[in-house]
Amino acid sequence: MTAVMGNKREPEEQFIYIIQCFIHKVRPDIQVIGNSGKLRYLAGIHGLTAVLDYINILYPDVFPEYPKEEAGRSLTRAACLMALKNAQMEETEKLLSGHGISYIPFKGYVLKRLYPEPELRSFGDVDILIHSDDRKKCNDCLLNAGYTLCKDWEPVYSYRKGNLYLEVHTELLDTEISSRVRCREFFKKDPWGNTVQTGYCRQEFSAEYHFLYLIAHIAKHISGSGAGIRMYLDLALFLEHTPEMDWNWLIKALEETRLIHLSSHIFLLLERCFGIKIPVEYDRPEDEKYLLFLEYTMEAGTFGFENRGRGSIIMKKKSVEESGPVAVIMEKLFPSADTLKARYRYLQKAPWLLPAAWVHRFILTGRKATSHMQEAKAIMYADPEETERLIRIQEELGL
């Protein structure tokens, strides 16, 4: 196995090393003394508390300051929730199949089986792709079965029932990730042609296609607020479980989608942090750039919302277009027809319906005026240096 860095005294180093041991199913050769609180904090913001509890129960001497019983209670709570979500999704799958609706589950709900216990992989929602022709049938079937429609954001619709939050997609990407990549068209082309049948109406993406999508998903989050270490743990486990992946296809697709530069950073992270062997040659980023990427990944949690100014995140997205704070606030409140037409297709044919789309958006997103006010305040007080740093990192990653 690869040593992470130095003699693993820093909590971040210890955390990554413990995750590395989790991937390779070996006992961590350390004792966490004085850092238990920080490690639990890191696990919490990265959605990996259950994984840390699992290691704690398996190897209690690694965490002499954190009682195994406490870890057991924490893991039981997490496992109950995830087991329930999984069981509820299984019922939902039966419902969809019963109505003849073809679907492809992807991301967390599929990735969970790569974990030694599926309940260790936490997820907030379950994503499925359906044919756009089945949209109405799927909506009627879910509403009749007691699901509540939460968001109707073409091409993504979300529903809630019990503990389950279901996101139904008719396309894999609703907008282009950034002006530097070419992902949307790629994933629009033929997602159903890159699947294997796993049930009467159930299909799953081929390994290469799903792996590529997961990299695109990371790119999407980095272009937004950020991506944490759990997304890379998923990839590490994916590669550990998929030794026969078609790398030629994957590299070609990474070049076509222009995600190759980001993927070289990801591959190096997987090698250095998790000891995963990448079976192809790739351009290794310089150490300084890699460490910047690692620090960026570690600092702000699963989706980049921790310790990162909301205003800077918004300004980072908009600063590419060189707008000032007031223009950004106006654009957030009243987006242009170009921005909205991906979600509200009637704007493609009738851009003059833009004011109606604004009202439609306010109603569907259900956001309160106070939330808009808070966002506007965050934008006005955004730290320009932080914004600049986030833009620089995104550019370094080719996004």
Of positions 5, 60, 79, 361, contacts another protein by CB under 8 A: 79
Residue 109 C-beta: closest distance to another protein, Å: 15
Q: Does 95 bind another protein (CB under 8 A)?
A: no
Q: Does 161 bind another protein (CB under 8 A)?
A: yes
Of positions 84, 149, 156, 320, contacts another protein by CB under 8 A: 84
Distance of alpha carbon 211 from the chain centroid? 13
Separation in Å, CA 237 to CA 3, 37, 104, 148, 269:
18, 26, 20, 34, 13
Q: Does 26 bind another protein (CB under 8 A)?
A: no
Distance of alpha carbon 312 from alpha carbon 310, whole angstroms: 5
Instruction: Write out the E strands in the chain.
Output: 103-106, 126-130, 148-153, 156-161, 164-169, 195-197, 203-205
Of positions 29, 65, 70, 91, contacts another protein by CB under 8 A: 91
- Per-residue tokens: 102: 């073809």
How many chain residues touch another protein (CB under 8 A)? 20
Distance of alpha carbon 24 from alpha carbon 323, whole angstroms: 47
Which one of the spans 114-122, 149-157, 177-185, 216-224 is the region binding another protein (CB under 8 A)?
Answer: 114-122
Q: Does 58 bind another protein (CB under 8 A)?
A: yes
Of positions 1, 3, 26, 80, contacts another protein by CB under 8 A: 80
**156-161 vs 203-205, strand pairing mode:** unpaired
- Per-residue tokens: 302: 């699963």
Distance of alpha carbon 372 from alpha carbon 242, whole angstroms: 44
* Residue number with CB closer to another protein (69 or 185): 69
Of positions 87, 291, 327, 330, contacts another protein by CB under 8 A: 87
Residue 117 C-beta: closest distance to another protein, Å: 5
Q: Does 283 bind another protein (CB under 8 A)?
A: no
**C-alpha gyration radius of the chain:** 22
Distance of alpha carbon 86 from alpha carbon 144, whole angstroms: 21
**164-169 vs 195-197, strand pairing mode:** unpaired
Distance of alpha carbon 265 from the chain centroid? 17
Q: Does 364 bind another protein (CB under 8 A)?
A: no
* Residue number with CB closer to another protein (86 or 257): 86
Rounded to the nearest 5 degrees, what angle is found at the Cα of 296, between the Cα atoms of 378 and 253?
110
Residue 87 C-beta: closest distance to another protein, Å: 5
Q: Does 150 bind another protein (CB under 8 A)?
A: no
Q: Which residue has the tokens 């070996």?
A: 26
Q: Does 72 bind another protein (CB under 8 A)?
A: yes
Residue 86 C-beta: closest distance to another protein, Å: 8
Of positions 17, 54, 123, 344, contacts another protein by CB under 8 A: 54
Distance of alpha carbon 294 from alpha carbon 4, whole angstroms: 11
Give the residues lining the site for another protein (CB under 8 A): 54, 57-58, 72, 75-76, 79-80, 83-84, 87-88, 90-91, 117, 119-120, 146, 161-162
